[in-house]
Amino acid sequence: MKAVRTDRELECPGIDAGLRARGVELATLPDGIPEDDLIKAVADTDLLLMCYTPITARVIDAAPKLKGIVKYGVGVDAIDIPAAIRRGIPVVNVPEYAEETVAEGAFALMIALAKRLPAITAAVSRDGWVWPTQHWLGRDISGATLGLVGCGKIGRSMARMAGQGFRARILGFDPGVDAATMHAAGIEKADDLHTMLRTCDFVSIHCVLNDKTRGLIGKAELACMKTSAVIINVSRGALIDEAALVEAILAGRIAGAGLDVYSVEPLAKSGHPMSALFGRDNVILFPHLTFFTAEAMRRLEEDTLARCFEILDGRPVTVRSFDPRLRAQTAGILFS
């Protein structure tokens, strides 16, 4: 058996060792590999593991022995799932390994900006000390209003941390989650996004990227926010109109942003749509690593190997995601 794992910059020693221990011949490929080079690499592979690298129809069609595609992560936007379905090749992700972890990351970004940690630590590093002048005033989470755009598992974890943990008021906008489910999670359901945004001191995005949610937070939505409000995004970069976000921050129309995801990754200090935000003390640019903890990576490696072994053994692969694109599959799949 042969396997290819793309995006080797994301170190997964447990996955690599586990596959090799099963006698699998494993090739690891770098992020950003050209499509033609990837096509050559998968020509005789049985299993394809990916995280960020696009798996196009051309790549899938160039792999006649391919038995399955495993996304060692959550989002499957980079995989041409219809092309895999046409070939009867199962596609699976690992959706549950970092739900609590990413919520913690979102909360960390929010509280860091509320307490002005980037600004104050930078000033202390530069000057050795700062005095408690108005310029350095932070904000409390307690008593503030947090608006969640998306109230799935990660959003509800964020609600628990901020609501039960810090006594914030939690509002939630998610047409796919009913009021009773939100209420049970300590969230007040908002039926109109713009109305909710006008109320919030903090906004945190926790929804999937699809045709309906792409650019969900755009110029009009940012204009609804308080000038004192902070926005957090740990989901997908394209959920926000990034040009509009940069404009809003540079113009002072919102107070700051904590970002872990971008429509174009990796970031770059110049020539990137978000380059103008580097060095601003009201912005945290995190390199898509809110998922990256020892505990989460252990869960990721264990679940990824379990899915790989199901495919290599010829068993139905377990799909735990409720993403409709994955749920549309009929061949070689066991839904859990």
Report the catalytic residues: 236, 265, 288
User: Does the CA dihedral 24-25-27-28 come out positive or negative?
Assistant: positive
Q: Output phi, psi for 236, to 5 deg.
A: -145, 140
Annotate the chain with three-state secondary structure.
Answer: CEEEECCCCCCCHHHHHHHHHCCCEEEECCCCCCHHHHHHHCCCCCEEEECCCCECHHHHHCCCCCCEEEECCCCCCCECHHHHHHHCCCEECCCCCCHHHHHHHHHHHHHHHHCCHHHHHHHHHHHCCCCCCHHHCCCCCCCCEEEEECCCHHHHHHHHHHHCCCCCEEEEECCCCCHHHHHHCCCEECCCHHHHHHHCCEEEECCCCCCCCCCCECHHHHHHCCCCCEEEECCCHHHECHHHHHHHHHCCCCCEEEECCCCCCCCCCCCCCCHHHCCCCCEEECCCCCCCCHHHHHHHHHHHHHHHHHHHCCCCEEECCCCHHHHCCCCCEEEC
- State the amino acid at position 222 in one-letter form: L
Helix axes 13-21, 294-312, angle to 10 degrees: 30
Distance CA 44, CA 296 (A): 32
CB-CB contact of 239 with 209 (8 Å): yes
Distance CA 111, CA 286 (A): 14
